[in-house]
Amino acid sequence: MSASPHQTTGDACANSLDSTDNQMMQEHTYVAKGEEAPGTQKALTAELLFLLAGLAALGALATNIILPAFPDMAVALGTSVIDLSATLSSFLVAFAVGQLFVGPLSDRFGRRWLVLAGLLAFVIGSAICAFASTLPQLIGGRVVQALGVCATSVLSRAIARDLFDGEALARTLTLIMVAMAAAPGFSPMLGGALSSWLGWQFTFAFVGVMAVVLAIHYNARLGETHQADRRSAISIPAILKTYWQLLTDRRFIAPALTMSLVSGSLYAFFGMAPAILMVGFHFSPFGLAIFFASTVFVVFGAGLLVPRLAHRWGQARAVRVGLVIALTGSIVLLVGKEDFVFFSAALMVFLLGMGMVNPLGTAIALHPFGRQAGAASALLGFLQMGCAAVAISVGAMLDVPAYTSLGIILTSSLALAFAAFWTLQ
């Protein structure tokens, strides 16, 4: 990555990140020229893409689908809406911690049985939630849900890394990230409809049935992708060593932190948007759900751009462009007036940049670590959840209006993401 003696320092800085993709391909490609690595699938089919997207989106869908049902759930369980927030925090904590175990286990024993076991646990957790009569029972069911679905979230990325490389990997991860971003946007509308028509229990029934369908389709169409000759030994010291190596390897930690900081700022938006839109701009709950759903189309548009831009510019340069776009939107939000049209425009610019950064940052982080794809994906997910928790907590502690708080969180997160990605030089 360093410049030759005949290059100027400015030229070296300008070109260093753009050469990252090619250098990583040369140094870490595990598919020998002219042959196919075990488990690699040549065809990037729509069926496979939607299967991986479904596995990835299930956790995000389960996180937000119950939000519109909170008032009905509070009455049924004899508790308050505020107390029900424990079902979200317990879900996120279990989800984050569970990933750290799923990744190394899948590198040792393969992906298939962990995906199927995770989906089974999620179905059991969904049933516990649907039949819960007390808040502790509901929280317990949510923990079981999270411990199960964290496997599908982590392993959707690891499976993509098992099967694809280069631009095919970037395209696959783009759809996965679009699905993960779309699920929190659409799930409140879906949850509100199910709760109103059939009762809050059917929100859990819906995601449980979805898990069963995914399990059947995964087992029939894909199965094991991490072949036995590529598996690594497992022990507590080995797991800790693997995570330490990843944390201290800038090829992983720089793009992983970049993606996690940007993704964490998105969670901050979801957390603060109700106060901004419902209190500040007098939105109804249905209007809030519609607004969330509209954000999905911006992320989807970014997903369509990503493969073309990555092919033309290289992945690293496309990430830098996405960071500039997202930072521009966050600064406009921070310094602009408190107006709905202004808010919407600034947010859409931010989401466009975020939709470019997340899939490419993930691809760059996972690419050099084919044999440890499970552990790398798990640590990436943990960092993502950690950054989200910090962003939400800091935003809640700031003694400023929610509109200003969101601008501060987004701008700070993007500035830190810029600094993290720059270390790839």
Each domain of the chain, given as residue ranges in start order, spans: 44-223+234-422
Q: What is the pLDDT of residue 425?
A: 60
Report the distance separating Cα 357 and Cα 421, nearest Å: 11
Round the average pLDDT of the chain to a whole number and report it: 80
User: pLDDT of 12-29, one tens digit each?
Assistant: 333 443 444 444 333 333
Q: What is the pLDDT of residue 19?
A: 45
Q: What is the pLDDT of residue 83?
A: 78
Q: What is the pLDDT of residue 125?
A: 96
User: pLDDT of 25-81, one tens digit each?
Assistant: 333 333 322 333 434 444 667 778 788 888 988 988 888 788 778 788 888 888 876
With b meaning 16 or more CB within 10 Å and e meaning fewer, what string describes 259-282? bbbbbbbbbbbbbbbbbbbeeebe
pLDDT tier, 229 (very low <50, low <70, confident <90, very high otherwise): low
Report the distance separating Cα 317 and Cα 228, nearest Å: 36
Q: What is the pLDDT of residue 377?
A: 81
- Structure-model confidence comparison of residues 308 and 130, the more confident one: 130
Is pLDDT of 9 > 60? no
With a CB cutoff of 8 Å and minimum separation 6, the contacts of 109 are 231, 234
Q: What is the pLDDT of residue 303?
A: 76
94-98, 114-118, 209-213, 287-291: which has the minimum mean pLDDT?
287-291
Mean pLDDT, range 323-332, rounded to an integer: 94
Are the beta carbons of 418 and 327 closer than 8 angstroms? yes
Mean pLDDT, range 180-207, rounded to an integer: 84
Is pLDDT of 10 > 50? no
Give the right CATH number for 44-223+234-422 from 1.20.1250.20, 3.30.420.40, 1.10.3720.10, 3.90.1170.40. 1.20.1250.20
Report the distance separating Cα 62 and Cα 49, nearest Å: 20
62-76, 236-250, 253-267: which has the minimum mean pLDDT?
62-76
- Structure-model confidence comparison of residues 58 and 336, the more confident one: 58
Q: Which amino acid is at 319?
A: V
Of 405, 421, 408, nearest to 358 (Cα)?
A: 421
With a CB cutoff of 8 Å and minimum separation 6, the contacts of 413 are 261, 262, 264, 265, 268, 330, 387, 391
Q: What is the pLDDT of residue 37?
A: 43
Mean pLDDT, range 217-225, rounded to an integer: 81
Of 176, 141, 144, 150, nearest to 48 (Cα)?
A: 176
Q: What is the pLDDT of residue 227?
A: 67
Of 368, 373, 367, 359, nearest to 111 (Cα)?
A: 373
Q: What is the pLDDT of residue 392?
A: 76
Q: Which two tokens stand for residue 380?
A: 């990436």
Is pLDDT of 416 > 90? yes
pLDDT tier, 228 (very low <50, low <70, confident <90, very high otherwise): low
Q: Is the backbone of residue 67 left (phi > 0), alpha (psi -120 to 50) or beta? A: alpha
Q: What is the pLDDT of residue 7?
A: 41
- Structure-model confidence comparison of residues 165 and 130, the more confident one: 130
Q: What is the pLDDT of residue 231?
A: 62
Report the distance separating Cα 103 and Cα 106, nearest Å: 5
- Count of C-beta atoms within a 10 Å radius of residue 379: 26
